[in-house]
Amino acid sequence: MENAAMNAHTNLTDQDDLLRIEIYNMLAHLCRQAPEQSVLEFLANLDVDTAQTFQRQTMASAWPLLKLAAQKTTLLSVEEEYQDVFIGIGRGEVVPFGSWYLTGSLMEMPLAYLRQDLKQMGFERAQSVIEPEDHISALLEVMAMLVEGGDEHLQQTFFNRHLAPWCEKFCTDLKAAKSAVFYTAVGELAWQFLTIEKTRFLESQ
C-alpha cells in the first residue's frame, strides 16, 4: 500500500508509536509472505526483554513464543507452512480477507467501502500487489502509515471500520490452523497486539 501524501520520514518522538509501527509492519510482512532467512534469524535472536516493554508487558507471553518458533523452524518448513495455511489448493486454511470474514465471500461490499476510505486518504494499491485491498497485510500496512502520520482520530476510525470487526477472529483461526506451527506464534502475537489496539481506540472514544 502506498500513500503519495505521506512523508516516509515523519519525525516520531513517542517510543510507543515507533514500536507500534514496527509491529504492524512485521505482522504485515509475515502475513503477506513466508519469512525470508534474514527475518527468521532476526526473530530467533529477538531481545525479548526489550520487546516486552511494549504496553507495560501486556504482550510478554507472545514474544518468547515467536522467538522459539523462529528458532525451531527452517526456511523450507515455514515456506511450506505458509503455502498450506494461506494459499492451499483452491484456498488455504485461513482466508486473510476482510470481505470473507464479514460476508463469507470475497470482493464484497466491505471491500468497496474500504476502497472509498483509502481513496479519500490518498492511499492506492502498489502496482506489484495483486491481492484486493482488504488483505490483512494491506490493512496492517495502512495502520503503520497512519500511526506514522500521527493522527489518532484517523487511526481510530480506520481500525474500527476495517480491522476491529474481524481481526480477532482471523487471529484465532490462524492460531488454530491445522498446518500452523510457526504461524501459531504469529497468530498469538497478532491477537495480543490487535486486542491492545482495539482497547486503545475504544478508550479514546
pLDDT tens figures, 167-177: 999 999 999 99
Distances from the Cα of 108 to the Cα of 17, 93, 113, 132, angstroms: 32, 20, 9, 11
Distances from the Cα of 139 to the Cα of 33, 35, 115, 128, angstroms: 15, 19, 11, 16
Which residue, 92, 118, 111, is CA-closest to 170? Answer: 92
Nearest-angstrom CA–CA distance, 108 and 20: 29
Q: Which grid coordinates are listed for 149?
A: 502520520
199 pLDDT more than 80? yes
CB 84 within 8 A of CB 179: yes
Confidence class for position 61, pLDDT limits 50, 70, 90:
confident
Q: Of all residues in the chain, what percent carry a pLDDT higher than 90?
A: 73
pLDDT tens figures, 63-75: 999 999 999 999 9
Q: What is the DSSP code (8-state) at residue 10? A: -
pTM of the model: 0.89
Q: Answer with the residue of higher pLDDT: 196 or 2.
A: 196
Nearest-angstrom CA–CA distance, 50 and 57: 10
- The confidence score (pLDDT) of residue 126 equals 73
CB 171 within 8 A of CB 190: yes
pLDDT tens figures, 67-119: 999 999 999 999 999 999 999 998 999 999 999 999 999 999 999 999 999 99
Per-residue pLDDT, averaged over 15-42, amounts to: 95
Q: Answer with the residue of higher pLDDT: 47 or 132.
A: 132
